[in-house]
Amino acid sequence: MFFITTAIDYTNGKPHIGHAYEKVLADAIARHRRLRGEDTFFLTGVDQHGQKVQQSARAAGIPPSEFVAGITAEFLALWDKLGVAYDGWAATTGQVHVRCVRDILARLHRDGHFYKAKNAGYYSVRQEQFLTDKERGPDGAFGPEWGEVVLLEEENYYFRLAEHRQWLLDLIDRREAERRPLVVPAARAAELRNAVEKLSGDLCISRPKSRLEWGIELPFDRDFVTYVWFDALTNYISFAGFTDDPDRFARLWPAIHVIGKDILAPPHGIYWPIMLKACGIPDDKMPTLLVHGWWNIGGSKMSKSAGTVVDPSALCETYGREATRYYLLADIATGRDADFSTERLVSRYNADLANSLGNLLNRTLNMAARYRQGRLGAPASADPLAEACASAVAKWDAAFLAFEPHAAIGAILDLLARANARVEESAPWKLAKDPSRADELDAVLYSLAETLRILSILIEPVLPSAAAGMRSQLARDGSVTIADTAWGGLPPGHVLGAPTPLFPRIETP
Ligand code: MSP
């Protein structure tokens, strides 16, 4: 089973293109696996508990449950708009999840993985966290970003993390040696290793109810709720049936987790494998972390105060689902950062989709209609595009297996360039004027139509709606698999449909 998950998004604010990129990335990878005939389960969802949500709800003057319901609805509407086809929805206030988190907490408590200890130190009231010397400025004082800082003494529960440090280092090395690294891409794996080397402290997994109510209560101490990361990370197993359906869990697990670089170390790269180990998950069932980079604006982080947060829902409304998905996957290499720009979105859409792909489809269908009433003749015995298609399919498949949609898109664009060049080189409009070259004309039209049929399969993970639209115009509706990318799927005599513009050019003033 191919089990893929994304991070679950905080419900303390509105969705932005960072959230959208990650879900579209996972969606495209899942769609590629489904094309390969792999049993696939794609889980995504929302992170609904915690301090930040409690604060946002308070600021909005409504109960947290009401606040998260509103934001959750916005995420659901966005995934619908973007065509993100998940199989499971992980919302952390759900009963199954809450039960699973409490079961795990009780079990780890019973097995001695927790201890209670008193922490005394400087505490930022605004950020609701204890401060260490790392947070001091060059003058030795805590900066204004921490607001009021008080001396506080508090008792909490701690999870014994540090004792698993060597185990985790060994796991990272073993997975590397087995050529199925714990973290991909490799640069991010090195980052995790460095962080694990430095691991020294344990993890505080509780918050006294006096300062955080919006969380899951500890099953062994009613005065506390659990820390939001302990709750959130558990979604990957709670929604896979860990406590309520062990057979299902055995079929699904382990997962590949698609996450952003900011939540690799410590949460996903340190807390999570150690939590899983404590829950009894064996070493060979540890998940894989696929770490992506960030979309920035002009080289900096998107920022609410600077007004640079890009709303993916507005992008869909202005440019459409396909243009938005295409840009988010074509213009960033997995693991690296990229700069978001609406100009780039428009120019890539116009060049790659409106011009290269849209025109090829339109011209081919128009010529077939004009010269042959849409009916395909016999193919050439050795078609120059057959080889190009086979090689594009192989590159596309390998790129997706390596979680690199931008490289898969590169293979598609190369094939499109070859097909467009074939139109120019063979000049069907000249062949049509010469009855003695009727076979040549048939061969070219077949070649182009067949290449377009194969292209409709290759674009499916990234552009599912356009793929269906293309196949409908080619009069080849219906579901497809990777096996259908073999050359020769269109039978001679097949009648193509009528052309309608699939990617109308985006005109900007
Ligand atoms: N709730 C936690 C994750 C818990 S997973 C058990 C969280 N939420 S988040 O809403 O802040 O981020 C969700 C995902 O979006 C993360 O993987 C994060 O890296 C990603 N992104 C947030 N901003 C981003 C960009 N600007 N660009 C790309 N991805 C970004 O973290």
Q: From CA 376, how far away is CA 360, in angstroms rounded?
A: 16
The verdict on the CB of residue 349 being under 6 Å from ligand 1 is no
CA 216 to ligand 1 center in whole angstroms:
21
CA atoms within 13 A on the CB side of 276: 26
Kindly state the percentage of the chain with pLDDT values over 90: 95
pLDDT over 80 (residue 90): yes
Q: Could you tell me the pLDDT band of residue 145, with boundaries at 50, 70 and 90?
A: confident
Q: Does residue 266 have a cis bond before it (omega within 30 degrees)?
A: yes
pLDDT of the residue at 423? 98
288-301: b (≥16 Cβ within 10 Å) or e: bbbbbbbbebeeee
Contacts for 409 with CB less than 8 Å, ≥ 6 apart: 326, 329, 330, 352, 462
Is 172 within 8 Å of 193 (Cβ atoms)?
A: yes
Q: Of 350, 351, 481, 331, which is closest to residue 409 (Cα–Cα)?
A: 331
pLDDT over 80 (residue 433): yes
Q: Could you tell me the pLDDT band of residue 299, with boundaries at 50, 70 and 90?
A: very high
β-strands 114-124, 40-47 pairing: unpaired
Q: Which residues pair with 142 in a beta bridge?
A: 136
The verdict on the CB of residue 18 being under 6 Å from ligand 1 is yes
Q: From CA 91, how far away is CA 80, in angstroms rounded?
A: 16
pLDDT over 80 (residue 453): yes
Give residue 272's identity as a one-letter amino acid code: W
Q: What is the pLDDT of residues 153-172, one digit of tens each?
A: 999 999 999 999 999 999 99
pLDDT of the residue at 508? 85
pLDDT of the residue at 134? 86
Is 239 within 8 Å of 252 (Cβ atoms)?
A: no
Q: Could you tell me the pLDDT band of residue 331, with boundaries at 50, 70 and 90?
A: very high
pLDDT of the residue at 509? 76
CA-closest residue to ligand 1 atom 24 = 18
Q: What is the pLDDT of residues 405-416, one digit of tens each?
A: 999 999 999 999
Q: Which one-letter DSSP state was computed for residue 263?
A: G
Question: Is the pTM of the predicted complex or chain greater than 0.95?
Answer: yes
Q: 6, 23, 262, 311: which to mutate for ligand 1, most atoms within 8 A of CB?
A: 262
- All structural domains of the chain, each given as residue ranges with its CATH number in brackets, are 345-485 (1.10.730.10)
Report which of residues 158 and 148 the model is more confident about.
158
CA 414 to ligand 1 center in whole angstroms:
33
Is 457 within 8 Å of 35 (Cβ atoms)?
A: yes
CA 258 to ligand 1 center in whole angstroms:
10
Q: Could you tell me the pLDDT band of residue 456, with boundaries at 50, 70 and 90?
A: very high
CA 22 to ligand 1 center in whole angstroms:
8
pLDDT of the residue at 20? 98
The verdict on the CB of residue 217 being under 6 Å from ligand 1 is no
CA 21 to ligand 1 center in whole angstroms:
10
Report, as an integer, the average pLDDT of 381-397: 97
Report, as an integer, the average pLDDT of 448-471: 98
pLDDT of the residue at 126? 78
Q: From CA 207, how far away is CA 224, in angstroms rounded?
A: 6
Highest mean pLDDT among 59-68, 124-133, 137-146: 59-68
The verdict on the CB of residue 300 being under 6 Å from ligand 1 is no
Helix, strand, or coil (residue 268)? helix
Highest mean pLDDT among 26-30, 55-59, 134-138: 26-30
